[in-house]
């Protein structure tokens, strides 16, 4: 299996931006960690593995739930994010460990009771074999609980900044394969169900999570800048060398339009909460 493109991506400027913006990202994505933790129903003493753990926020939450007996193991391909996750765990003295590895070929040293993920499992070149490999690290009665994005068209927080930037594109973006590794690769719930059953997971359940997402930043300018640095828009800006000042002005207007009376900037998001059992 070859995840070389994603490994390069998450170890390059994108991984560094996730490190630089980690506190803001964690604030924005905290409600989705809540959903995974609720679905996972972690038991004290249970061993957990978090796939694509990034800077470790979900894994640290899991570690606090399961305690020190086995602790929680985070796995990620990004060296800068794993370094930050380890530093956070050390600072909090948390029973969390972090491994720099490609989850599609990594095996946990001891089988875990549950695999969890917040937006960390949509980046495999070949997802069914990757999920089959992940299952090898899970106890016979173990389970899986992860959250992933539905289609870009249903996620205003990602689509609206892209649309605001369209006027400044040098060329129309090439039509992308909607199932190619990336944040929205798991938009089709039937495909996700097929991937998991091909990988040997049973009792797959996939439920919608539709909620407003609060974008980070104390003012529209900060939020606009943040949205230019992460996600699909940042990839487009980098690929086309677009005039960032014009895009920033358009995004500030967009953020003003979405500002609520309490000052927060909220946009629609849509995810799938996915659960399964080891067969
Ligand atoms: C969108 S980020 C989510 C990070 C984290 N779960 C969070 O919610 O903050 C996706 C993460 O998946 C990781 N990733 C991508 N491909 C991977 C692979 N094959 N094995 C392990 N991690 C991978 C990336 O390095 C990145 O940290």
Strand 72-76 and strand 48-51: the pairing is parallel
Residue 17 pLDDT more than 70?
Answer: yes
Q: Which residues pair with 266 in a beta bridge?
A: 214
Instruction: Confirm if 96 and 60 have CB atoms less than 8 A apart.
Output: yes
Domains of the chain (ranges plus CATH)? Answer: 4-153+177-214+270-278 (3.40.50.150)
Q: What is the pLDDT of residue 235?
A: 80
Reported pTM: 0.96
**What per-residue confidence (pLDDT) applies to 26?**
96
Residue 1 has pLDDT above 70, yes or no: no
Q: Give the distance (Å) from ligand 1 centre to CA of residue 253.
A: 31
**pLDDT tens digit sequence for 30-55:** 999 999 999 999 999 999 999 999 99
**Residue ID of nearest Cα to ligand 1 atom 4:** 54
Tell me the C-alpha distance between 119 and 145, whole Å. 11
Counting residues of the chain whose pLDDT is more than 70, the rounded percentage is: 100
**Three-state SS at 236:** helix
d(CA 227, CA 278): 38
Element (H, E) at 89: helix 79-92
Ligand 1 environment, Cβ below 6 A: 3, 6, 10, 25, 29, 52-55, 57-58, 75-78, 81, 102-104, 118-120, 123-124
Asked if 132 and 200 touch (Cβ cutoff 8 Å), the reply is yes
For 104-131, what is each residue's pLDDT tens digit? 999 999 999 999 999 999 999 999 999 9
Q: How far apart are CA 217 and CA 23, in angstroms?
A: 11
**Which pair of tokens denotes residue 250?**
């358009």
Distance 249 CA to ligand 1 centre (A): 30
């Amino acid at each position: 299996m070859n995840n070389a493109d994603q490994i390069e991506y998450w170890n390059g400027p994108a991984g560094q931006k996730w490190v630089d913006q980690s506190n803001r990202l964690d604030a924005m994505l905290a409600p989705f960690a809540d959903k995974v933790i609720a679905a996972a129903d972690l038991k004290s003493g249970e061993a957990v593995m978090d796939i694509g753990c990034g800077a470790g926020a979900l894994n640290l939450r899991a570690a606090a739930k399961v305690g020190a007996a086995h602790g929680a193991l985070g796995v990620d391909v990004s060296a800068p994010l794993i370094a930050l996750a380890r530093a956070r765990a050390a600072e909090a003295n948390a029973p969390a460990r972090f491994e720099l590895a490609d989850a599609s070929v990594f095996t946990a040293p001891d089988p875990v009771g549950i695999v969890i993920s917040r937006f960390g499992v949509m980046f495999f070149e070949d997802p069914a074999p990757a999920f089959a490999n992940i299952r090898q690290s899970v106890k016979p009665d173990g389970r899986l609980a992860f959250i992933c994005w539905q289609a870009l068209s249903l996620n205003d927080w990602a689509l609206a900044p892209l649309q605001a930037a369209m006027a400044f594109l040098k060329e129309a973006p090439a039509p992308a394969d909607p199932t190619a590794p990336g944040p929205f690769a798991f938009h089709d719930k039937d495909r996700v169900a097929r991937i998991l059953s091909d990988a040997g997971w049973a009792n797959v359940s996939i439920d919608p999570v539709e909620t407003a997402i609060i974008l980070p930043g104390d003012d529209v300018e900060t939020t606009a800048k943040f949205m230019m640095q992460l996600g699909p828009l940042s990839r487009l800006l980098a690929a086309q060398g677009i005039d960032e000042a014009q895009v920033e002005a358009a995004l500030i207007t967009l953020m003003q339009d979405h500002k609520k009376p309490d000052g927060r900037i909220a946009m629609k998001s849509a995810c799938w909460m996915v659960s399964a059992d080891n067969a």
